[in-house]
Amino acid sequence: MIRQKLLTAVMVVALVATGMTASAGAVTAPSVETTTSISESTTVTVTNVVDGDTIDIEYQNGSTDTVRLLGVDTPETYGSVSPGEFEGVPDTQAGRECLQPAGENASAYATDQLAGQTVTLQFDSQADRRGDYGRLLAYVQVDGSNFNYDLVERGHARVYDSTFSQSDSFYSAESTAQSAERNAWSCRTPNDDDGSSGGDASALTIDWVNAEASSLNDERVKITNTGSSSIDLDGFTLSDEAGYSHTFAGFTLGASDSVYVHTGSGTNDADDRYMGYGTEIWNDDGDTATVQTAVGTTVAQLAY
């Protein structure tokens, strides 16, 4: 009888230990694939912008992944561009030379809008969950807006020929961007279009660069429109010799107006734009500020 009780006690202890192990395993964070497959959306942080249509992200549990923006394709920046993929862009040297900076501008715009931001990934039941190289395929929602659609609407991207539920609205936005020759679509006439979508871009001047500043936002550049009509600066970039840059998005500079581009972070408005850097970028002992159109044409430059 004593032996039987002892055996029963051992079995109880073993079962309790097994239960504790199972309980401990239950609180282990689920894998990334499990997390994303059970939800139509998930909140992540953008840790790196690879190019205009690809980002690296981190989940709330610390896992990482790469996302290919669903339904869109921006011009290549790391390899040779393919004009044939962009309807109406000539497959010529001029077309390629136009698309290359257009791809860089798309990347700069994505960096300006997404880098370091907390965004929501949304998945489409009509599309694959993962594409080439195992990358997630998703819409990126920023402040309630679909960034994938925004890229197409602004002409930074074409619609990627694939199956997804929002394709009709994307194609409609693409058609409008093509007609207006916005950003990459200005490459349809690369020899005649300087990339500006309104006003005389040659009227832009860089008045000064305040490099010896007491704070990041005191370090700033003043740009003025000396012309008699407004200039649409959407897609234009301001950069220094080292490649630090700011891409203007949805911004028009009125006739005789000026805008101050600050190095640090802040809220963009009609008079002030912010590059979002955490360190000074304009060299105290000399640098060159350059403003280029969406297709890479230099329209203003100041060396100091």
User: What residues act catalytically?
Assistant: 68, 76, 135
Residue pair 186/75 in contact by the 8 Å Cβ criterion: no
Residue 24: Cβ within 10 Å count: 9
What is the distance, to the nearest Å, from the Cα of residue 93 to the centroid of all Cα atoms in its chain?
27
Half-sphere exposure of 219 (CA within 13 A, CB side): 21
Residue type, 217: N
CA distance 40 to 56: 19
Residue pair 208/192 in contact by the 8 Å Cβ criterion: no
CA distance 163 to 161: 7
Burial class (CB in 10 A: 0-12, 13-18, 19+), 152: buried
The label of the residue with tokens 């020899």 reads: 191
Residue type, 29: A
Give phi and psi for 255, each to the nearest 5.
-60, 130
287 CB-near residues (< 8 Å, 6+ apart): 209, 211, 240, 241, 303, 304
Distances (CA, A) of 114 to 48, 66, 93, 110, 240: 8, 14, 32, 6, 21
* Tokens matching residue 269: 């408005």
